[in-house]
Amino acid sequence: MSLAAGPPLVAWLLLAAALFCVGVYGVLTRKNLVAILLSVELMANAVNLNLVALGRYQGELLGQAVALFGMALTVAEVGVGLAIVILVHRRRQGIDVDELSGLSG
C-alpha cells in the first residue's frame, strides 16, 4: 500500500478539512435541527476520511480501525440526538432552533 497509487496525502487532508468546514458552517448557520444533525454527520465523516488517509500514510490499518470506532460512536450519538429532536418537535410543533430561546442570560 503506497501512496504513490493515488493522490498525495495533502490532497486527502484538504478534502477532509473542506468537508469539516462545510459541516461547521452548517452547524452554525442552519435553523432546522435535522439539518444541524446532518452537518454534524458531515463533520464526523470528514474525521473518518482524515483517519483513513493518515492511517494509510502511516502504512497501517490502525487508522481504519479507529474510523470504524468513530462511525459506531457517531451512530449512537445521532440516535440519541434524533430522539431529542422528536421530543422538541412534540413540545413545540416545529424544529426551528430560533424558537428555542426560553432560557437565556
Q: Which of 2, 4, 5, 80 binds other proteins (CB under 8 A)?
A: 80
Backbone angles phi and psi of 93, in degrees to 5 = 55, 35
**Residue 81 touching other proteins (CB under 8 A):** yes
CB of 2 to other proteins, least distance (A): 16
User: How many residues sit in the footprint of other proteins (CB under 8 A)?
Assistant: 44
| 2 is a site residue for other proteins (CB under 8 A) | no
Cell numbers given for 22: 462545510
Which of 2, 4, 93, 103 is the binder for other proteins (CB under 8 A)? 103
Q: Which of 74, 93, 94, 98 binds other proteins (CB under 8 A)?
A: 74
* Residue 22 sits in the site that holds other proteins (CB under 8 A): no
DSSP code per residue over 17-68? HHHHHHHHHHHHH--BHHHHHHHHHHHHHHHHHHHHHHHHHHTSSHHHHHHH
